[in-house]
Structure 1
Amino acid sequence: MKLWIKILIGLGLGLIVGIALHLFDHYNISDLEGFKGFLNVVGQAFINLLKMLVGIMLFSSLVSGICHLHDPKKLSRIGFRTIGFYIISTLVAIGIGITLAFIFRPGRGLNFSLPSDFVVSAKPMQFLDFFAKLIPSNPFHAFAQGDILQIIVFAILFAVAITMSGEKGKGILHVIESVLETMYTLTHFIMRFAPYGVFALIAVAIGTTGFGAVVPLAKFLACNYIACLLQIFVIFTLSLKVLARLQIAPFFKGMKDAIVLAFSTNSSTATLPVSLECVRDHLGVSEDISGFVLSLGSTINMNGAAIGQAVSAIFIAEAYGLELGALKIVILFFVSLVSAIGAAGIPGTGLIMLSVVLGALGLPLDPFGAFALLAGVDRLREMVSSVVNVLGDAVAAVYVAKCENQIDTKQYHAVTWLE
């Protein structure tokens, strides 16, 4: 049975058990309290496993990505155009997600209590103080404390130092890339326990909040879906029509196989071979452009993931009655962009990257609060966001190929639904 099916089964069973726990809660049955305690342990263990991955995965993925981008061949005119498109489209996606989240207010009405160990700063951080605190005095302390922004800064500086070291730096780069691949393998292993973790988290969360969580979760998913649809049918179509000066319909005809696969596998990385075939054989993009742009995009272009991080952060802040000021919104833009760049296009990394965003914003990662609710529906969110990720890469490939005169426009406009 596919993992995503198991996770959805865990979600459904968690809802049923959670409702039962909520209905029988006022009877003060001792056995039920023991069962809830067991669920707490299972849920906390799963969250700790996810948090265990964050620092090392973020550091290694950023260092690896930056070092490869520094390759002079990739930082050519095509490289700059590709990266520029990815960054701008991701920032636009984040803006759409934030705007819709403030319109829908999906987290309102949950009224979760803050964890006992969570401290709200009485004095808002000043702009200059924020930048001063970005520099880690001790990188190991930043990893130990889970200071995400300091880890990001250290990763950037470390990557620059590697590239400046030339041949001498390639050894440590190979080690970091090996660490990154190992973290991906560990992620796959940990995600095997996701159905049980989701079951426990949802059961406890629903058992505590009751039916009051259903409407906020529905609004959360609606907010994500609408943002993804706007990114696809407004931003991407405008990019094709205005920037690439091509018709819109052939693009979706040519990408239909990749769309279906991304939706069903929940993985833009797993969809890459099919995306390459669609862009090259159906849309007429040259092999050089399609290979470079899509391979790079599968690593650093995650528009759908960026939308999810932004909406999730605002959902959690509202669930605890916390306000996000102007500086926190700026941080949200930055960290959502970085987490989207650092996220692997495989199922399950969305929750890991969300913990990165929450840590940077100073929001609670409570295993039995709002985070637990989002963990239960993360699969439903990622199904659509994966499609956005894949289509964003393809739009970039078509745009860059058109600018470089490396697209067969006759083949592009001749594509049909039957191909």
Structure 2
Amino acid sequence: MAVLAGLVLGALLGFIAKQAEVSWLATTLSRIGEIFVSLVQFTVIPLVFTAIVVGITSLRRLGGPRTAAQLGGRTLLWFAITSLIAVLIGIAVASIGNIGSGVQVTPSEDAVANIAERNPGDWWAFIQSIVPTNVFSAFSEGNILQVVFIALLVGGAAYALGDRASVFVNFNQSAFDIIQKVLGWIIWLAPVGVLGLLGNAFASYGNEFWAPLVSLIVAVYLGSALVLFVVYPVLLRFVGKINPLTFFRKSWPALQFAFVSQSSGATLPLSRQAAVNLGVPRGYASFAVPLGTTTKMDGCAAVFPAATTIFIANLNGIALSFGDYVLIVLVAVFGSLATAGTTGWFTMLTLTLAAVNLPAEVIATGVATVFAINPVLDMMRTATNVAGQITVPILVARSTGTLDETALHAPTDLPLIDEDPEDSADAPAEESRKDKEPVGA
């Protein structure tokens, strides 16, 4: 509510500054926005690096009993398939709607220079730009794409070394937690930052800035609705062999709570019980649903970053190439897996924007602008996330012949109860994730 209040007040002050030509008010709003953007921007580089390193090394958590490994493999495969469908829908909706167009913001001279150097059509230049000549310069100069490349190499090496890299992995985990804490403090300043950013936007462009914001909201809601009410029901009907109406009847309490709470983690007990009520074995549900809570985010990690990347690019007059769209898809399919246990909407959006090589200032400004409407977007994103986290275990249970038909067709649902003690061995990652719920997911 505070962020939405900042949005309304900022728009009002910006409108006054433009209509009454109050220069000092416009300047003040601009300065407030610049400070908030700077706060967001300085977290981007360390956040991207540590998230990727910790995420890749955390994939070792999937090791364990052979059955868990087999189920984990099928689960991750369905995570990837549904994420692919979701990101394609996000790209299609945003591209057809041409969201973010109509008002073109004016980036700084440095951002303009960086945009001119993108060379999206020159693949050799693009590949060459990924590999840094100096590791430290990639960080000091804020070259996000090179930082991603370094993080992938370092994370892969740490994964391969196993226990010998445990000190380094623990350091990165601590660093990531610290950055997340700092980011949490910055988010507390979001109402003020939104006031300055939106106020400055309205002072510069007038009421025309409403249209791009509304277009992003419509695109995210439409894309998420297509995934939630079309893609999942089709998969459940033809792959899971269950009636979609049964799915929605038994999962509706979880979906409602997710929409209101805007938190997949807080919805976890309801999501897990919904999966059990739909016939998923309790032991597997206790493994797959917590895993999905941090890695299965078709709303936050597929539809939303795809649409928002197109929105930010259009807003800054940046033309995305076919190769850029391919990168958006790859980040959606593999990005959430590569940041298992750490993914939130902020991290996934930042990774996607970095993948298409947008300048750091454009990324920070775009992300900070999205803060203004994030509470509205987060409700639909989270409901879609939770629906996917329940759907995939059903599909896997059906494919392995373990779906409980009795529970599925039971006229009444089981009460919401704590996990049985004997099932705890099948959920090795759950306890370690309870205190690592991603921001806005």
State the TM-score bracket (shorter-chain normalisation): 0.7 to 0.9
Contact 2:55 2:340 in 1 (8 A): no
Q: 1:185 deviation in Å?
A: 2.3
Write the distance in 1 (CA, Å) between the matches of 2:152 and 2:316. 33
Do structure 1's residue 72 and structure 2's residue 93 form an aligned pair? no
Of 155, 158, 164, the match for 1:168: 164
**Secondary structure of the residue that 1:245 maps to in structure 2?**
coil
Of 8, 31, 45, the match for 1:55: 45
1:93-112 map, 5 Å:
93-112=86-105
What letter corresponds to residue 35 of structure 2 in structure 1?
A
What letter corresponds to residue 146 of structure 2 in structure 1?
Q
Relative to 1, partners in 2 of residues 1:175 and 1:415: Cα closer, same or farther, differing over 3 Å?
A: farther
Relative to 1, partners in 2 of residues 1:18 and 1:372: Cα closer, same or farther, differing over 3 Å?
A: farther
Match of 2:330 in 1: 334
Q: 1:251 deviation in Å?
A: 1.5
Relative to 1, partners in 2 of residues 1:77 and 1:352: Cα closer, same or farther, differing over 3 Å?
A: closer
Match of 1:398 in 2: 394
Match of 1:29 in 2: none
Write the distance in 1 (CA, Å) between the matches of 2:71 and 2:32. 48
Q: 1:98 deviation in Å?
A: 0.9
Q: State the Cα deviation string for residues 115-135 of structure 1 (Å, max 9, x = none).
A: 221221385552233334333
Of 230, 236, 240, the match for 1:234: 230
Do structure 1's residue 378 and structure 2's residue 374 form an aligned pair? yes
Relative to 1, partners in 2 of residues 1:352 and 1:293: Cα closer, same or farther, differing over 3 Å?
A: closer
Do structure 1's residue 303 and structure 2's residue 310 form an aligned pair? no
Match of 2:274 in 1: 278
- The alignment-based identity, stated in percent, is 28
Instruction: After superposing the two structures, state which structure 1 stretch, 364-373 or 58-67, moved more.
Output: 364-373
Contact 2:47 2:347 in 1 (8 A): no
Write the distance in 1 (CA, Å) between the matches of 2:5 and 2:291. 34
Do structure 1's residue 135 and structure 2's residue 131 form an aligned pair? yes
**Secondary structure of the residue that 2:409 maps to in structure 1?**
helix
Relative to 1, partners in 2 of residues 1:133 and 1:115: Cα closer, same or farther, differing over 3 Å?
A: same
Q: 1:227 deviation in Å?
A: 0.5
Match of 1:28 in 2: none
Contact 2:56 2:340 in 1 (8 A): no
Write the distance in 1 (CA, Å) between the matches of 2:118 and 2:15. 37
Q: 1:352 deviation in Å?
A: 5.1
Q: 1:76 deviation in Å?
A: 2.3
Q: State the Cα deviation string for residues 146-166 of structure 1 (Å, max 9, x = none).
A: 333333332232222223223
Write the distance in 1 (CA, Å) between the matches of 2:176 and 2:95. 35
**Secondary structure of the residue that 2:243 maps to in structure 1?**
coil
Contact 1:335 1:357 in 2 (8 A): yes
User: How much is the aligned-residue C-alpha RMSD, in angstroms?
Assistant: 2.7
Do structure 1's residue 360 and structure 2's residue 355 form an aligned pair? yes
Write the distance in 2 (CA, Å) between the matches of 1:37 and 1:261. 42
Relative to 1, partners in 2 of residues 1:58 and 1:418: Cα closer, same or farther, differing over 3 Å?
A: same
Q: 1:345 deviation in Å?
A: 8.7
Contact 2:120 2:321 in 1 (8 A): no
Match of 1:350 in 2: 345
Relative to 1, partners in 2 of residues 1:43 and 1:81: Cα closer, same or farther, differing over 3 Å?
A: same
Do structure 1's residue 213 and structure 2's residue 209 form an aligned pair? yes
Unmatched 5+ residue regions in structure 2?
Answer: 416-441
Match of 2:436 in 1: none
Contact 1:97 1:311 in 2 (8 A): yes
What letter corresponds to residue 109 of structure 1 in structure 2?
G
Contact 2:55 2:342 in 1 (8 A): no
Q: State the Cα deviation string for residues 15-55 of structure 1 (Å, max 9, x = none).
A: 22222222112xxxxxx323332322222222222222222
TM-score by length of 2: 0.84
Do structure 1's residue 254 and structure 2's residue 250 form an aligned pair? yes
What letter corresponds to residue 353 of structure 2 in structure 1?
L
Relative to 1, partners in 2 of residues 1:183 and 1:144: Cα closer, same or farther, differing over 3 Å?
A: same
Write the distance in 1 (CA, Å) between the matches of 2:181 and 2:81. 31
